[in-house]
Amino acid sequence: MLTPHSATAAGILAGYLADAAFGDPRRGHPVALFGQAAERLERRVWADSRPRGLLYTLACAGAVTGAGGVLHVATRGRPVARLVSTAAATWAVLGGRGLAAEGAALAALLERGDVQGARARLPHLCGRDPAGLDAEGLARAATESIAENTSDAVVAPLLWGGVAGVPGLLGYRALNTLDAMVGHPSARHLRFGWASARADDLANLLPARLSAAAATVGAPLVGGRPARAWRAWRRDARQHPSPNAGPVEAAFAGALGVRLGGRNSYQGQVSDRGTLGDGPPPGPAALRGAVRLSRIVGLAALGVSVALARRHRRVS
């Protein structure tokens, strides 16, 4: 018999499979529509003010989480509707297939020696300036992005979906999107985006470490050693300026046996990411390994999410 908690678990599984099979729609993606609405609101309410930015974050993320809560209540006692709504929300917030496809496409370009093509492709993965990057720099940028976005776009939404169902799925994705929009330390968003950036950091504390742990355990499946991944995570993660990207990127570096980190340029601003791992710089083969490891970590997160959802036997 399908119950609300088993319907949530089944919906998460179905949504994960839908993302793996179909990926993101070319037009009208729900996350993109949310981003457009948030951008319009930002233009109306922006001020160089942390309190104003906090209200903006609460309004945007609160509206989406509230909508998820309404849907949660509306499907109480209707397990089929709960399954369908959870599947749709899970599919909408996951980015695993798109992430893997972009990583594989960039690896193929680098294997062919098409540096210009790889530079044109890199913005699909990250916001780093590609113009000055050679083949080695492009492979490193893509590998780091695969690692970080595995946590942000796969593990974290799955974990929050397992904990809180549709409100957790939608609320997390709203925060993560706001962080991508206004959370970077530009002159315009240094104060206004502070609340979005800090909220995203908090929401990703546990998912990032689950991602790093899964990458460590899964290292043998990509030809690596768990001990090496663990050592890189514990030794190097703190050198990264992000409290969440650091553990994931360091664990991926150790699992793949490569060296990540260094100086990166984002929209003219230079950031030093420290040195993560102690192997050679990544090439196309390591990038393909990162794609495989991303899928392994995603499957581990799916198992945790489904288990969490099924444990909520008293939550309708």
Distance between CA atoms of residues 2 and 29, nearest Å: 30
What is the distance in angstroms between the CA of the first residue and the CA of the last residue of the chain?
14
Q: Where are the alpha helices (DSSP H) in the chain?
A: 4-22, 30-45, 50-74, 79-93, 96-111, 115-121, 135-150, 156-182, 194-217, 226-236, 245-256, 284-311
Whether 1 shows a pLDDT value over 80: the answer reads no
pLDDT band at 87 (very low <50, low <70, confident <90, very high): very high
DSSP 27: S
One-character DSSP codes across 40-56: HHHHHH--S-HHHHHHH
175: β partners: none
Q: What does the pLDDT look like over 267-304, one tens digit per residue?
A: 556 667 789 999 999 999 999 999 999 999 999 999 99
pLDDT tens-digit readout, 176-230: 999 999 998 788 999 999 999 999 999 999 999 999 999 999 999 999 999 999 9
What is the residue-averaged pLDDT of the chain?
93
Tell me if 82 sits within 8 A of 2, measured CB to CB. Answer: no
- What single-letter amino acid sits at 239? Q
> CA 246, CA 276: separation in Å to the nearest integer?
8
Angle 77-81-82 from CA coordinates, rounded to 5°: 70
Q: Grade residue 314 by pLDDT with cuts at 50, 70 and 90.
A: very low
Question: Would you state the pLDDT for residue 312?
Answer: 63
CA distance 247 to 238: 8
DSSP label of 132 = T
- Segments making up each domain of the chain, as ranges: 4-311
